[in-house]
Structure 1
Amino acid sequence: MIKKVEMLISQRRIIALDTVELTLKNKYISQTARPGQFLHILVEGHSLRRPLSIASINKVAETITVLFKINGPGTKKLSEYKNGMYLDVLGPNGNGFQIEEHDNTILLIGGGIGVPPMYFLGKHLVEQGKKVISILGFQSAGHVFYEDEFEALGRTIIVTNDGSYGEKGFVTDALRLVEDFDCYYTCGPLPMLKAVTAKLNDCSGYISLEERMGCGVGACFACVIPTNDHFGYKKICKDGPVFHSKEVSL
């Protein structure tokens, strides 16, 4: 159930170029959030909330970690919040990742700020005894984050657009380095998701969509995506942000 809560900022870190990590404290969300869900955060001076994917939770410490990239006035303002301040938050929002019991080897594909929800999912999969392989795409070496964290989960391949770190190219170029897997999960910019789903068209997979939102709870139609069954649209904030790769039309 979505609740409106105040969340204490217990830690703020710059972890890569223009990339901020916030560790927030709230008992309810830390106990109920699932991989793939997001928080809808109100930023002072801005009418629309910002949807931020959950990167991890710590049920014992009652904390939730989110990451965001500074790419506009709203995220710039959010990056200026300090430890000890409170955020007005709706959460946990949306539907999370569906995990099939029979899938044993999982491929995670994250691009940019689509990497954080892959980490939350990866930790959860490893706890369930699954084997995890990760492909993470970034613009350049300065944008890379969470490499060590993913390495702790399993084999990790870093790709940068300019080749300044890891493999050169896009996440789809690194698919040649991966052999057998049972299912894939991916999150990132829409062009990346289109390329990944086209390349892995014969594979079972799930996508998590990054999208600007209005209400964040399904009351408006600001974030819709057409379905492949020709029967209408899905609301990303409520029906998603996770969908089966064959469910919606990118």
Structure 2
Amino acid sequence: MREDLEVVNHTLLAVDTYELILRGRLVRDIKQPGQFVHIRTSADEYLRRPVSISDYSMEEETITLLYKMIGKGTKALTNYQAGDTLDVLGPGGRGFPVKALPGERILLTGGGIGVPPLYRLARELFEKGAELTIILGFQSVDHAFLREEFQQYGEVRVMTNDGSSGNKGYVTDGIAQMAAPIDRYYTCGPTPMLKAVVQQLGDTEGYISMEERMGCGIGACFACVVPSHDEKGYKRICCDGPVFHHKEVVLS
């Protein structure tokens, strides 16, 4: 559905990274953590901007979005203040299947702006009794966010490229340091990170969430396709994903 959502709060969390809380009935249509909304800003003549949903409240009818300012559209988005309205389409896509039995060991790994979609997922897995290890990767301490918030759901390990917070290295280095095996993993981030995580964890059941610019956001334009192993040979990230089983798609 399309709706003009009210801006409730808009704050800077880290370098070029903002938290945006919106209110509206659209939240009622969210089915799974990991879905996204498609936002039109004042700078957009044609294309919307996809932003993953980090958290939501059915009671308050709010959704929480975290986004990074990386271009004209997201720069315009930073100008919106409490009381303004935003043209929002969604929720879109297929999110994370929340699969967990009490005591199962589950790994969540996120890199940069791939971290926010894992936040609501962590909460729902925790409520099912899963034992979570959460590895968050950032460029540096100045780019880090949600570290303390994730701690209420499991063991949090932070990796930074320069070692300014947590341990120096990438999320794959954090995975290599884990002593106990895991039952399942969920990961979100840039494609090279996803590919490295999938290769490292081998046959362990996993789900990946792909970051991609989109055209229409509803599967009509085929601008956000990824090679797949099925008879079609491709998947549309906006509607078949953005979440896929790790064996569904070909990461290049």
Q: TM-score range by the shorter chain?
A: over 0.9
Q: Distance in 2 between matches of 1:101 and 1:153?
A: 14
Structure 2: gaps of 5 or more residues? none
Q: Is the 1:19–1:67 contact (alpha carbons within 8 Å) kept by the matching residues of 2?
A: yes
How does the TM-score come out when normalised to structure 1?
Answer: 0.95
Q: Is the 1:31–1:59 contact (alpha carbons within 8 Å) kept by the matching residues of 2?
A: no
Q: Which runs of 4+ in 1 moved over 4 A?
A: none
Partner of 2:215: 214
Q: Distance in 1 between matches of 2:57 and 2:98?
A: 20
Partner of 2:244: 243
SS in 2 for 1:135: strand
Q: Deviations over 1:182-218 (max 9, x none)?
A: 1000000111111111111221100000000000011
| Number of residues of Structure 1 aligned to a counterpart in Structure 2 | 248
Matched, 1:27 2:25: yes
Q: Which amino acid aligns with 2:92?
A: N
Residue 68 (structure 1) shift: 0.5
- Within 5 Å, give how 1:30-109 maps onto structure 2: 30=28, 32-46=30-44, 47-102=46-101, 104-109=104-109
Partner of 1:171: 171
Q: Distance in 2 between matches of 1:215 and 1:97?
A: 22
Residue 132 (structure 1) shift: 1.4
Q: Is the 2:32–2:97 contact (alpha carbons within 8 Å) kept by the matching residues of 1?
A: no
Residue 160 (structure 1) shift: 0.2
Q: Distance in 2 between matches of 1:221 and 1:127?
A: 37
Residue 100 (structure 1) shift: 2.9
Partner of 1:117: 117
Q: Distance in 2 between matches of 1:245 and 1:9?
A: 35
Q: Is the 1:41–1:51 contact (alpha carbons within 8 Å) kept by the matching residues of 2?
A: yes
Q: Is the 2:228–2:235 contact (alpha carbons within 8 Å) kept by the matching residues of 1?
A: yes
Partner of 1:188: 189
Q: Is the 1:133–1:156 contact (alpha carbons within 8 Å) kept by the matching residues of 2?
A: yes
Q: Distance in 2 between matches of 1:242 and 1:109?
A: 14
Residue 119 (structure 1) shift: 0.5
Q: Distance in 2 between matches of 1:54 and 1:134?
A: 18
How does the TM-score come out when normalised to structure 2?
Answer: 0.95
Partner of 1:128: 128
